[in-house]
Amino acid sequence: MSQKVYTQGSAFPPTKPGVLRLYSMRFCPFAQRARLVLQHKNIPHEIVNIHLRSKPEWFLALNPLGQVPVLQIDDKIVPESTATCDWLDDVYPENQLQPTDPYRRAWDRVLLEYSSKLIGPYYGAIRSTDASEVESKSEEIKKHMQFFEEQLKAREDGPFFGGSKPSTFDFFLWPFYERLPMLPLLKDNPALDIEADKIPTLTAWAKAMRELPAVKATSLDASSHATWYRQTLTGAPDYDMFLKED
Amino acid sequence: MRISTFSSQELIMKVMTLQFPQASALASRRLRCFMQHVSSSSSANGQTESNITLLTPVVTYDPKTLAQGSPFPPTTPGVLRLYNMRFCPFAQRTKLVLEHKKIPHETINVNLKYKPDWFLKLSPLGLVPVLQLDDLVLPESTATCDWLDDTFPGQTRLTPSDSLRRAWDRVLLENVGKISDTFYALRRKADLKDKILDKLEKRLRWFETILSDREGPYFGGNQPAMIDFLLWPHFERLPALTLLTSNSRITPDPHHLPRLAAWMEIMLQLPAVKAVLQNTNAHAHFFASFGTGSPDYDFGLEE
């Protein structure tokens, strides 16, 4: 199946009975969460990439909220990154991701809710053209990462938040962590980098995450992310950049 | 749920082994407690069993908020405590679940503008709700609600057993933020009022569409589910928003959002909702006071 984006006016690519489909976008961190879980659990699936600035009508009919990721299988549809990931873990048994202990599960929820604080300053920093505003948003992000550093350290059963194996939260956090090194490149300001010695536990976590086949299969380097965001700021990003298809 | 009571002899023995800071006064109060063993069993998705003993609180703390400088109200071993604020919609979620599942607990209301040091030490995030039970501390509305439902499934299991329904309830939850954000957005960007209210109306229509696809009257079906309690606090505040903005399109009514209107009516009949409810005037007053920078946390409490 082509990985090229579908835009407004495009024809709906027919689904096949029993085939799980993910509506996605190759640079979207929320969609990456679903892709990580699909890969990690070895769930067969196909991917349909959506042009998020020129959405196909059939996509909006499928999901009026208009966002990726969305899962579709036969008549079932599940939007929202956290809902899709939890549903996949509920339905597909291989490599269980959600903790079984209620207290651990509750604390993973705390961490997930806390991680939403990253989103505002992250996109704010990307969009801002004011260097001091960018720095202050970057400081906010660093402060939040310190919180995760402390939380992971306190768990004492790493390297993952899930312990010796990753849990859903590891995959919820990863896409944003992966993108942090692109900010200093995008803004041409090395001061925006988080020093590894300030977050040793997270640095060890990242190393372990990068060894996971799911992360290898879905991640991009900082330079590619920076190129993508640079294009989004011009107003006409090439959703198919870096794709090698005829 | 297995409930057992102890003979007074056994009770005295048990109480004597509890640790408490101020011996005699508390000891005599505790002798009046009876213990309820609330044991939770494995649920359908294979969770490990947890046996938590909850004491019914006898000490009733003043509902007035505790601020910076106030002494820490002592905890009682075995008593579940909720750190709360009577007008916080997120803390209200947890309070609703506690009430609906009839889980014994005590409530401490916290001044969120001038937070007590002991509260920040307990929960560095500094937000309500927080649950505390002996050395267990858990913040965050959805985490506390889920933990309560997992730990005390009892006869009122609130989490749906169907994974697709669970997923869509999650979708609903992720989208209620746009409703709760409206209050703050209106204050921050008063000039964009029409645009903000348009967005709110669109979001409410989306909720109406989802509910229309369900049997109802609750989002959970013929009984309320967790999502009903997670959504309720935000909808409870809509009439106050109508009052503050003089905009009639906000509060669901049978003409333009009939399923939501019917849902609101039936929710208002639930004992748990009634127990925690603040009326429209109280919400409007609190919200206005919040805007002045001096939130009236104790509004409605007698002097």
Q: Say which CATH number the domain at A58 has.
A: 3.40.30.10
Between the alpha carbon of residue B36 and those of residues B1, B54, B223, B269, the distances in Å are: 10, 6, 26, 28
Distance from CA of B163 to the nearest CA of A (A): 6
Helix (H, G, I), strand (E, B), or coil: what is residue A22? strand
Q: Residue B116: pLDDT band by 50, 70, 90 thresholds?
A: very high
Task: Kindly state whether residue A223 falls inside one of the protein's structural domains.
Answer: no
d(CA A145, CA B270): 41
- How confident is the model at residue B46, as a pLDDT? 35
Considering only CB atoms, which residues of chain B are within 8 Å of chain A? 45-48, 50, 125, 136, 138-140, 142-144, 146-147, 150-151, 163-164, 166-168, 170-171, 174-175, 206, 209
- The CATH number of the domain holding residue A181 is 1.20.1050.10
- How confident is the model at residue B31, as a pLDDT? 35
Task: Kindly state whether residue A57 falls inside one of the protein's structural domains.
Answer: yes
Kindly determine whether residue A91 and residue B163, on different chains, have CB atoms separated by under 8 Å: yes
Residues A133 and A70 in one domain: no
For β-strands B50-55 and A70-73, DSSP reports them as unpaired
Task: Kindly state whether residue A219 falls inside one of the protein's structural domains.
Answer: no
pLDDT (tens digit per residue) in B10-60: 444 444 444 333 333 444 333 333 333 333 333 333 333 346 879 999 888
Domains of chain B (ranges, CATH numbers) = 3-151 (3.40.30.10), 163-291 (1.20.1050.10)
Residues A108 and A181 in one domain: yes
Residue A197: which of A115, A246, A142 has the closest Cα? A142
Residues A135 and A179 in one domain: yes
Task: Kindly state whether residue A108 falls inside one of the protein's structural domains.
Answer: yes
Residues A50 and A87 in one domain: yes
Query: Looking at the predicted structure, is the pLDDT value of residue A28 above 60?
Result: yes
Kindly determine whether residue A106 and residue B167, on different chains, have CB atoms separated by under 8 Å: no
In single-letter form, the type of residue at position A83 comes to: A
Kindly determine whether residue A84 and residue B167, on different chains, have CB atoms separated by under 8 Å: yes
Considering only CB atoms, A87 lies closest to which of B142, B163, B206, namely B163
d(CA B29, CA B8): 14
Task: Say which residue the tokens 């109200």 belong to.
Answer: B73
Query: Looking at the predicted structure, is the pLDDT value of residue B161 above 70?
Result: yes
pLDDT (tens digit per residue) in A115-151: 999 999 999 999 999 999 999 999 999 999 999 999 9
Which of B125, B151, B159, B170 would you mutate first to test chain A, the one with the most A CBs within 10 A?
A: B170
Burial B270-297 (b: 16+ CB within 10 A, else e): bebbeebbbebebbbbbbeebeeeebeb
* Beta strand residue intervals within chain B, DSSP E: 35-40, 50-55, 81-84, 106-109, 130-133, 136-139
d(CA B102, CA B174): 27
Residues A81 and A18 in one domain: yes
Distance from CA of B36 to the nearest CA of A (A): 21
Residue A230 burial (CB < 10 Å; 0-12/13-18/19+)? middle
pLDDT (tens digit per residue) in B190-215: 788 888 988 899 999 999 999 999 99
Query: Mean per-residue pLDDT for A4-19?
Result: 97
Task: Kindly state whether residue A126 falls inside one of the protein's structural domains.
Answer: yes
Lowest mean pLDDT among A187-191, B24-28, B298-302: B24-28
Residues A128 and A85 in one domain: no
Phi-psi category of B302—alpha, beta or left, where left has phi over 0 and alpha has psi -120 to 50? Answer: beta
Mean pLDDT, rounded, of chain B:
84
Q: Residue B250: pLDDT band by 50, 70, 90 thresholds?
A: confident
Kindly determine whether residue B48 and residue A91, on different chains, have CB atoms separated by under 8 Å: no
- In chain A, which residue's Cα lies nearest the Cα of B49? A101
Residues A47 and A131 in one domain: no
Query: Looking at the predicted structure, is the pLDDT value of residue A244 above 90?
Result: no
Residues A203 and A162 in one domain: yes
Residues A125 and A58 in one domain: no
d(CA A208, CA B148): 33
Query: Looking at the predicted structure, is the pLDDT value of residue B90 above 60?
Result: yes
Lowest mean pLDDT among B172-181, B253-262, B272-281: B172-181
Task: Kindly state whether residue A2 falls inside one of the protein's structural domains.
Answer: yes
Mean pLDDT, rounded, of chain A:
96
Can you name the residues that pair with B139 across neighbouring β-strands?
A: B130
Kindly determine whether residue B48 and residue A78, on different chains, have CB atoms separated by under 8 Å: no
- pTM of this structure: 0.88
Task: Say which residue the tokens 């006071």 belong to.
Answer: B289
- How confident is the model at residue B33, as a pLDDT? 37
Share of chain A above pLDDT 70, in %: 100
Residues A76 and A150 in one domain: no
Residues A126 and A176 in one domain: yes
Domain assignment of residue A172, given as a range? 102-211
Task: Kindly state whether residue A27 falls inside one of the protein's structural domains.
Answer: yes
Task: Say which residue the tokens 């720095």 belong to.
Answer: A135
Considering only CB atoms, A106 lies closest to which of B147, B170, B206, namely B147
Kindly determine whether residue A113 and residue B206, on different chains, have CB atoms separated by under 8 Å: no
- How confident is the model at residue B187, as a pLDDT? 76
Number of domains in chain A: 2
Share of chain B above pLDDT 90, in %: 64
- How confident is the model at residue B189, as a pLDDT? 81
Query: Mean per-residue pLDDT for A92-98?
Result: 95
What is the ipTM metric for this complex? 0.93
**Contact criterion met (CB below 8 Å) for A81 and A89:** no
- How confident is the model at residue B186, as a pLDDT? 81
Task: Kindly state whether residue A65 falls inside one of the protein's structural domains.
Answer: yes
Residues A117 and A172 in one domain: yes
